[in-house]
Chains A and B, each alone.
Chain A
Amino acid sequence: MTNSVHIVEEMQHQADVTADRSHHVNQWVMHHVTDSGSWHTPFFNLHLPDWMSNNALMLIICALLVIFFFGVVFRYKEGHSPKGWTNALEALILFIRNDISIAHLGEKDGRKMAPLFLTFFFFILTANLMGLIPLFSAATGNINVTFGLASVTFFFMVIGAMVANGPVAFFKSFAPSGVPWPILILIVPLEMIGLVIKCAALTIRLFANLLAGHIVVFSLIGLVVSFGYAALPAVGMALAINLMEIFIAFLQAYVFTMLSAMFIGQMYHPAH
């Protein structure tokens, strides 16, 4: 009798220990996927000032990387065919200019706005991929960053469209012609709300995809912390998810850029 009580107690204790560990793993994971005031690496711990945060630092590193790649690595010699990185990046540049920017904004506006979408794509892609490299974290997993980027899209959807078509045409685009006025009462507010929702969707989509990916990877590795070596196969799954994250990084950068171009294009050419 005493023996079985002892076994039950022991099991209870083990369950408590695992639950305790899981709770801490959970906290640890959430801590690592959210912004912090320092940059922890196995080699150094950088405590950042109050006006700076880990994600802000990552954004700056990301910006420097993008500028480095296109300012230094990307080289085009007159009279020579492009090679290596130049060739790879050039294919992406042409795709974004032709199949995203010009496709959604037309020949004239598309060419003019291509730099914005190119910056969107490569900035988001680099930030996404940084999250997969040890030592760095993904700034795009922070809702404030994605909100900041989506607000740029919103700015061009509103201010850009007003400059391009005039304020009257901008407000007219909320009321499609030929629609009876009682329905307009319904449609106009919906269209206006839609404008904001589109940007909110952009914000959430990018942030949630990146955050969820990292939580999954960390959680799978966290299983090893919670359950010991029995959970070792989870590391293989974490690796598989990490590989998928590479694809997600490209996909989400593409989706954000493409949808931004589509939304801005719709506001620039409301007749479409």
Chain B
Amino acid sequence: MADSEHKTEPNHDLIETIHAHTAHENHGEINPMEISGQMVLWTWIVFAITLAVLYKVAWKPILAMLDQREKNIQEALDNAEFLRKEMAELEAVRAKKLADADEQSKAVLDAARKGAHEQAKAIENKARDEAAILTENAHREIEISRALAEDTLRLESAAWARELAGKLINENLDDEKNRALTDRLIGEL
């Protein structure tokens, strides 16, 4: 029995605590659905003040900042897109210029090559002409020399023939008449 009394001891403490609490409340029966105008009023006042203070110190600047940042991000994205496009355009221009330069250098090279070719051809032609003239001159000189040699040979042969004939007819014949005869004979030849 003493044991059960001992067990109920904390129970008394609990009862006392609850009585103490409820006595302070003066509420008697506890009812969570109890309506109290005072508490509604407190809620309104505290909520209204919170709303007003937060609107001033928090929501207005924060929302404005968020809008501003949203705008900034959009602008940055737009700007990046614009720059990307511009870069692409510049790249295209650069590529075009590079292609043009390549074309031009090719044209210059072609022109130079063509010029050199023509010049080489002209030099060759000129050399060929000069060589032809030289050959012709040489031919002519050969011809003259040949004619001269022929003439000389003819004269020498005639002289030799006359001499031989003179020797043959024992120098009887008049030199003048023989020469004329010889010249006539040579001319007939």
Interface residues in chain A, defined as those with a beta carbon under 8 Å from any beta carbon in chain B:
10, 13-14, 17, 20-21, 24-25, 27-28, 30-31, 33-38, 40, 47, 51, 53, 55-56, 59-60, 62-63, 66-67, 70-71, 74, 76, 90, 93-94, 97, 111, 114-116, 118-119, 122-123, 139, 141-145, 147-149, 151-152, 211, 225
Contacts and interface: CB of A to CB of B under 8 A. Distances in A.
B66 A93 contact: yes
Contacts of A33: 32
Interface stretch (B13-21, B99-107, B114-122, B158-166): B13-21
B54 A56 contact: no
A118 B54 contact: yes
B82 interface: no
A30 B32 contact: yes
Given A17-B4, A24-B14, A47-B24, A115 B59 contact: yes
Given A53-B38, A67-B54, A116-B51, A59 B43 contact: yes
B80 interface: no
27 contacts: A17-B8, A20-B8, A20-B11, A21-B11, A27-B18, A27-B22, A31-B22, A31-B25, A34-B30, A34-B31, A36-B24, A36-B25, A59-B42, A59-B47, A62-B46, A67-B57, A71-B57, A74-B58, A90-B66, A93-B63, A118-B59, A119-B54, A119-B55, A123-B47, A143-B33, A144-B40, A148-B43
A115 B55 contact: yes
A70 B18 contact: no
Contacts of A40: 21
B34 interface: yes
B47 A36 contact: no
Given A24-B11, A47-B24, A115-B54, A30 B30 contact: yes
A25 B14 CA distance: 8
Bin chain B's interface residue count: 35 or more
Contacts of A118: 54, 59
Contacts of B7: 17
Contact of B18 (A31, A51, A76, A119): A31
Contacts of A67: 50, 53-54, 57-58
Given A21-B11, A59-B43, A63-B46, A34 B4 contact: no
Given A34-B30, A74-B58, A122-B54, 14 more contacts: A20-B8, A20-B11, A27-B30, A31-B30, A34-B34, A59-B43, A59-B46, A66-B50, A67-B57, A115-B51, A119-B47, A119-B55, A147-B35, A148-B41
